[in-house]
């Protein structure tokens, strides 16, 4: 989701580890090393990686650099091929019917379990080859002064993918700034027991 949208959901993170000056200088290269790889010409089910926040087709940051003032800005791109279950079931039935007709012509009365599985795999590959992957892009903004990261999604799967790729790319651990984490950040570790024992208040 673009960070400049009129409305959007944002997940806030802080980087747990210390960030060295050397790492800041390596950010552009690390993004390129973990950039998105296109799967339009393949049968792969999905692909994900970093891309330019200004252009999701730019995986080399040729249009613009990730540095924007004291922020590092980039996007997580995820392309997924989705084959509707009803379509898959239909083409499996067609393929199995054709296979059974061939088997009967050879004097066989059934199709083995292994052959059925093989046919289903072949059907899935054929359908993937005929379908285009659907792209999704999620912007990320990393404040180099505070170490805070804004990720433009609240979807649990998107967040998990972002956290995994961020940690693999930069070798840094992210912590989501939940209300509890924000409370600790503002009040200090001494307030942990008080925050843990808080109970919601009903105003009805």
Closest CA to 76 of 50, 109, 57, 98: 50
What integer pLDDT is reported at residue 13 of this predicted model?
Answer: 96
Smallest CA-to-CA distance from 83 within 11, 38, 134, 27 is with: 134
Residue 153 has a pLDDT of 95
Residue 11, CA atoms < 13 Å, CB-side half-sphere: 19
Residues 74, 145, single domain; the answer is: yes
Residue from 92, 29, 89, 101 nearest 65 by CA: 29
User: Which pLDDT score, from 0 to 100, does residue 178 have?
Assistant: 79
Q: Are residues 53 and 143 in the same domain?
A: yes
Q: Write down the pLDDT at residue 102.
A: 85
Number of domains composing the chain:
2
Residues 142 and 116 in one domain: no
So what's the pLDDT on residue 8?
86
pLDDT at res. 196 = 75
pTM for this model (two decimals): 0.80
Average pLDDT for consecutive 10-residue bins of the chain (204 residues)? 79 93 96 97 94 97 96 97 92 90 84 90 90 95 95 96 97 88 73 73 77
Contact 49, 77 (CB under 8 A): yes
Instruction: Examine the domain organization and report whether 72 and 91 are in the same domain.
Output: no
The answer to whether 152 touches 138, Cβ cutoff 8 Å, is yes
pLDDT digits (tens, 9 = 90+) for 47-93: 999 999 999 999 999 999 999 999 999 999 999 999 999 999 999 99
Structure tokens at 6: 């009129």
pLDDT computed for residue 49 by the predictor: 98
One domain for residues 92 and 68: no
Q: Are residues 144 and 61 in the same domain?
A: yes
Supply the pLDDT for residue 1. Answer: 57
Q: Give the closest residue to 54 by CA, choosing from 46, 67, 64.
A: 64
Q: Let me know whether 74 and 144 are in one domain.
A: yes
Within this chain, do residues 39 and 120 fall inside the same structural domain, yes or no? Answer: no
* Residue at token pair 């379509």: 87
d(CA 4, CA 1): 9
Q: Please choose, from the candidates 81, 48, 83, 72, the residue with its C-alpha nearest in 3D space to the C-alpha of residue 160.
A: 48
Question: Distances from the Cα of 202 to the Cαs of 96, 196, 199, in angstroms?
Answer: 59, 18, 10
Q: Which domain holds residue 62?
A: 11-78+138-196
Is the residue at 52 inside a domain? yes
């Amino acid at each position: 989701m673009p960070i400049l949208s009129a409305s959007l959901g944002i997940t806030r993170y802080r980087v747990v580890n210390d960030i060295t000056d050397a790492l800041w200088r390596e950010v552009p290269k690390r993004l390129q090393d973990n950039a998105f790889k296109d799967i339009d010409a393949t049968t792969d089910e999905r692909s994900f990686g970093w891309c330019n926040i200004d252009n999701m087709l730019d995986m080399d940051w040729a249009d613009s650099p990730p540095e924007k003032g004291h922020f590092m800005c980039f996007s997580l791109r995820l392309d997924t091929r989705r084959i509707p279950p009803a379509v898959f079931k239909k083409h499996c039935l067609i393929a199995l019917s054709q296979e059974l007709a061939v088997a009967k012509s050879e004097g066989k009365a059934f199709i083995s379990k292994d052959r059925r599985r093989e046919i289903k795999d072949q059907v899935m590959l054929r359908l993937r080859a005929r379908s285009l992957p659907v792209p999704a892009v999620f912007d990320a903004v990393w404040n180099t002064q505070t170490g805070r990261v804004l990720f433009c999604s609240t979807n649990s799967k998107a967040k998990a993918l972002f956290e995994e790729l961020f940690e693999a790319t930069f070798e840094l651990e992210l912590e989501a700034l939940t209300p509890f984490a924000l409370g600790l950040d503002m009040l200090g570790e001494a307030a942990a027991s008080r925050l843990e024992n808080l109970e919601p208040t009903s105003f009805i």
